[in-house]
Amino acid sequence: MRRRPGIGGLQTAAAARDQYRLLGENVAKLRTDLMKEQLATFRSQLEEFARKHKNDIRKNPSFRSQFHEMCAKVGVDPLASNKGFWAELLGIGDFYYELGVQIVEICLATRPLNGGLIDLQELCKLLRQKRKHDREAVSEDDCLRAISKLKTLGSGFEVILAGKKKLVRSVPTELKKDHNEILELAYSTGYVTVDEVERRLTWTHGRAIDALDTLLDEGLAMIDDGHADGKHRYWFPCVSSISSFGADN
């Protein structure tokens, strides 16, 4: 459009902008409509799929995991609510709800022993023992999903990483980076000494003692002064597979 000087020119420019905007909105609407339609198709196909493979989804953990991924791609969350299509058809909401409750029970039972931090594999093992008589097998992926649901309830549940290992935290205590590093160090033997922490993490004596004492106070570490070499050892129950002792499962 040819630019015109003066007020007329301004009015034309304004009109032009309006028209472009309208056109833009239309295009956007068209795109959105198209997307919505595609998504609707996706959803109905997904629902069809779910109907057909309901049993596989219930019984097979890896199939179930892939199903979740598919749903996530289309923005569908089968666990979003306990009502509605997904919950009714698959009863999947119930499955994860039940899992969540069992996970909470295990974490509470082992909390006096490990301070509220438990190795994910250990948790899964205890979960499977607890569910010995249930038909449905449970994978680590299932545990993680159930825990992420618990997290949205604001119950202080979270999965944290200590090196390559995943730990499930069931207490509101925040683990600082220093604590994480000590846990990682403890993984091979189950314990650390002050010397070790100073040496391998190149920390000052004060920093090491500080971190270890905090871990002791939080109930995540236990002290051992019975070794012949006289050095204090700090043991981390969450890192060993001894959460099962003493607990009433």
Partner 1 sequence: MQKLGEFKLPHFFNYPPYFTLQPVREAREKQVQLWKELILDYCRTQKIFVIGLEEEFPLFSNSVIERTLSHEAREAFLSALVSEGHAEWLDKGHRKCLILWHRIQDWAEIILNFVKDNGFEHSVMTVEEIRSGIESRGTEMELLSTACSLEIKLPWKRKEKCT
The binding site for partner 1 (CB under 8 A) comprises 112-113, 191, 216-217, 219, 222-228, 233, 235, 237, 240, 242, 244-246
Residue type, 45: Q
Closer to partner 1 by Cβ: residue 74 or 108: 108
Q: Which is nearer to partner 1, 68 or 233 (CB)?
A: 233
C-beta of 102 vs 114, nearer to partner 1: 114
Q: For residues 43-77, b (16+ Cβ closer than 10 Å) or e, as one string?
A: eeebeeebeeeeeebbebeeebbebbeebeeeebe
Dig out the tokens for 153 from the structure: 């309830």
Smallest gap from Cβ 126 to partner 1, in A, equals: 13
> What minimum distance in Å lies between the beta carbon of 248 and partner 1?
11
Closer residue to partner 1 in complex, CB, 98/105? 105
Q: How near is the Cβ of 232 to partner 1 at its closest, in Å?
A: 9
Minimum CB separation of residue 109 from partner 1 in Å reads 12
Q: Cβ(138)–Cβ(99) under 8 Å?
A: yes
CB 150 to partner 1: min, Å: 23
Closest CB to partner 1 among residues 25, 217: 217
Closest distance of CB 245 from partner 1, Å: 3
In this complex, which beta carbon is closest to partner 1, that of residue 12 or of residue 214? 214
Q: Quick one: 79 or 239, whose CB is closer to partner 1? A: 239
Smallest gap from Cβ 134 to partner 1, in A, equals 25
Region of residue 152 (phi > 0: left; psi between -120 and 50: alpha; otherwise: beta): alpha
